[in-house]
Structure 1
Amino acid sequence: MNYVICLYILYLLIVSGVVGWAGWQLYLAGRPFVRVILYVDNQKADWINALLLTGYYLVCTGYSFMVLSSLPAVASLPAMITALSIWVGRLVLILSLLHNINMLVFSLWKKFHNV
């Protein structure tokens, strides 16, 4: 098996693990947060939280598959590890940026909706 196929397989395994774990942790911690920010009952908070989780998974999956076409052709193990770390690092950085933007939007929502 050549290095490009190994890179694709490792990238997809790592990304699916990171995205799955982070999404589930955000989902578990999101219900009380959604209730406080949006002033909704438990049923609506669960629905909104599930909708946010679905959107998160769709964005992450779409971005991850788009990155597959941008992965470089590698010819050695060090080049494969370098490419893998760069692209997984970019994904994690983008996901954390999106999460912080969501938190900012929700906090602004609460601030201006309370007035």
Structure 2
Amino acid sequence: MDLTVVAYVIYLLVSIALTVWVARTLSRNGRIFLADVLHGNEKLADAVNHLLVVGFYLVNLGFVALYLNQDEEILNARGIFEALSTKLGVVLLVLGVMHLGNVYVLNKIRRRGVMEREQMPPVAPTDWVAPAAGA
């Protein structure tokens, strides 16, 4: 069997496994964060979480597929390791950037919600009192 094909198979198996693992981790732990961002609306948090996971899969698996081709033929075991280290390193960086981008956007949304909550008085006013004459 051609060593380039072996490298392709290993690259796909590891890349897809890493993508699935990161997506599941983000989904499981991100749900709590989303519920806070969305003011405790659990159904909306679950829906947004699912949409984010689907988008994450589409972008990352699309990148893995596009980055599959190898320009040079692999002739030995050393070539397999060199090709895999480069390809998997780039995939890991893309996964990390996608994760940080998601966290950044969600944190911006969360901060906006916190600021909106802080601008509201804790108790609604019940009456108006005229200022004293000497004040």
Q: TM-score, normalised by structure 1?
A: 0.92
Task: Check whether the contact 2:37–2:106 (CA below 8 A) recurs between aligned residues.
Answer: yes
Shift of 1:34: 0.5
Shift of 1:71: 5.6
1:55 and 2:43 are equivalent in the alignment: no
Equivalenced residues, count? 115
Shift of 1:106: 1.4
**Which runs of 5 or more structure 2 residues have no equivalent in the other structure?**
117-135
1:31 and 2:64 are equivalent in the alignment: no
Deviation digits for residues 32-90 of structure 1, max 9, x if unmatched? 11011232411111111010100000011100000012564211110111110111111
Letter aligned with residue 20 of structure 2: G
Task: Check whether the contact 1:72–1:83 (CA below 8 A) recurs between aligned residues.
Answer: no
Letter aligned with residue 26 of structure 1: L
Counterpart Cα distance in 2 of 1:71 and 1:26:
33
**Which runs of 5 or more structure 1 residues have no equivalent in the other structure?**
none
Question: Which structure has the bigger radius of gyration?
Answer: 2
Q: TM-score, normalised by structure 2?
A: 0.79
The runs of at least 4 consecutive aligned structure 1 residues that moved more than 4 Å come to none
Output the aligned Cα RMSD: 1.4
Shift of 1:108: 1.5
Q: What is the aligned partner in structure 2 of residue 90 from structure 1?
A: 90
Task: Check whether the contact 1:71–1:83 (CA below 8 A) recurs between aligned residues.
Answer: no
Letter aligned with residue 52 of structure 2: L
Counterpart Cα distance in 2 of 1:80 and 1:74:
6
Counterpart Cα distance in 2 of 1:68 and 1:53:
22
Q: What is the aligned partner in structure 1 of residue 65 from structure 2?
A: 65
1:7 and 2:22 are equivalent in the alignment: no
